[in-house]
Amino acid sequence: MLLKNLSSLTLGALYAASGAFADSSSSSSSLPPIEVAGNKFFYSNNGSQFYIQGIAYQADTVNGSAGDDINDPLADYSTCSRDIPYLKKLNTNVVRVYAVNTTLDHSKCMEALAENDIYVIADLSIPGKSVDRTDPQWNVELYERYTGVVDAFANYTNVLGFFAGNEVTNNASNTDASAFVKAAVRDVKKYISDKDYRKIPVGYSSNDDEDTRVPMADYFACGDSDVKADFYGINMYEWCGDSNFQTSGYKDRTADFKNLSIPIFFSEYGCNAVKPRKFSEVQTLYGSNMTDVWSGGIVYMYFEEDNGYGLVSVENNNVKTLSDFENLSSQMAKIKPSVAKNSSYTAQSTSLSCPASQKYWKANTKLPPTPSKDLCGCMHDSLSCVVNTDKIDEDKYGDLFGYVCSQVDCDGITADGKNGSYGTYSFCSAEEQLSFVLNLYYQKNGKQSSACDFKGSASLQKATTQSACSSALKQIGSSGTGSASSSVSVSSSGSGSGSNSKSSSNGDSSSSSSSSKGSSTAGAKEKNLALGSKASLSQVILSFVATLGVVAGAGFAMA
């Protein structure tokens, strides 16, 4: 039987019960945390180098839009305890999970994994809740999702780290999205520090696109320690069938990343263009040609599904090992990578220059602001003209955005990762953002009641400003493009809309899952993970300004 299907839990329910389990507060079993030094991982207790010998471990994760279910492999003890002996036969010391349900109890599985010397790398996103390459945002909704995962797992010492994104930028056309993922890395690291959790590494998992692979790694590895990623993974499918270090592409990739200043590893590998997989690349990956640069890898994947990447099949709760399993087990049993000691290790490179803008790389080093739910609530409460949520649904916001932003400056709510320009309220919900620009329109038109109507889609409210909000709102200014000198924290009794307004809608085009792969091709650079998403705010504004700006009525009667 596959991992229990969480059919009764929609994504909405995942957040409704946040904090239902404080399952990371204690653990009867512990492993020494893994630490980062230079481009290597080390055991914190004895300073020996740690190589990732990993397996992607997640079955039947729905790769879809918001409202679909996920299958959390760390929340079903009957299944994880069944599978751990098989993971041990593969010499597994890391499992990667792509989606977790923060409302469930993970303590039994996490302790069982720890007792068997197995660490976890968990993706912070879920399908429908990640940075979307077609509509990149780093907003309050995502911030709360990502930090919620941190809260659920931070106190398990066998959490090796977190992925803040997976294949978000997948070619040169969407490199701007990487600015939003790097902002997530920055803010999750700060959240971990502010909460006084142990220093848990936060990294990124990329695809292997020939145009962007090097500048993208440099981009995530560059900058100050509080901004850059702690580690970097590449989903690598260049070695297919019988190959070798030179012809597979591994030699070239090792040369590409020899100067990377943070640990790099294969966050997925195991091309299945030739079956059965012999996994001959294992000896090379953990051999002398690669271990100076690479820290191991994660085989895709444990469960057999339609994509044909499985190591085992499961039927009626019975596990059957496949030929790929036996081949991998044999290969892993033979590896003997050289092991450095942290005490005698000196990193060859400790810093890296950020990549310059060029033909294939356009992500700005200036990152989006840190989302603040309280600030969004302060802003919304200070407005006189706001969205009438009783009369208009969020899927109809596009028309209003398009018309209003053809009449007023909407820079305060837009974000551009290419140019590095971000409105102060670009992280707020769609309702809050629309209310902000409706209020600008209302003010521009003499604060006449007819300028806050739009056939009932907008209405007047009594504007209020809490004392905790006053200074920040003044510094930000009426256009929403200034910056506050300090963060805002308002009392829970305040009327801020941050806790009441609809969540912003940003579809997911980048969150990978265990079911995301189709059949492999010889090139093995597949995995177009594009999922359905709503049009981005920027796209809405650009498309509607050109049309609705010249049609003043646009279906909205002002009187």
Active-site positions?
A: 167, 268
Distance CA 154, CA 159 (A): 7
511, 517, 520, 526 alpha-carbon torsion, rounded to 10°: -20
Question: Which value, in Å, is the radius of gyration of the alpha carbons in the chain?
Answer: 24
Judge whether 265 and 94 are in contact, CB under 8 Å.
Answer: no
Residue with the two structure tokens 């000691």: 341
The two structure tokens encoding residue 226:
């509080």
537-548 vs 397-404: helix axis angle to the nearest 10? 60
Closest CA to 331 of 265, 268, 292, 287: 287
The two structure tokens encoding residue 534:
């709503």
C-alpha triplet 457, 463, 469: angle, nearest 5°: 120
Residues constituting the chain: 559
Contacts of 429 (CB under 8 A, 6+ apart): 139, 140, 141, 376, 501, 502, 503, 504
User: DSSP states of 347-392 as a string?
Assistant: -S-S--PPPPPBTTB---SSPPPPP-HHHHHHHHHT-SEEE-TTT-
Other beta carbons within 10 Å of 496:
27
Other beta carbons within 10 Å of 383:
22
DSSP alpha helix (H) spans, 164-321: 177-194, 213-221, 250-256, 281-285
Judge whether 466 and 382 are in contact, CB under 8 Å.
Answer: no
DSSP 138: -
Distance CA 80, CA 100 (A): 14
Q: What's the number of CA atoms in the CB half-sphere (13 Å) around residue 375?
A: 28
Distance CA 185, CA 164 (A): 6
Distance CA 218, CA 203 (A): 13
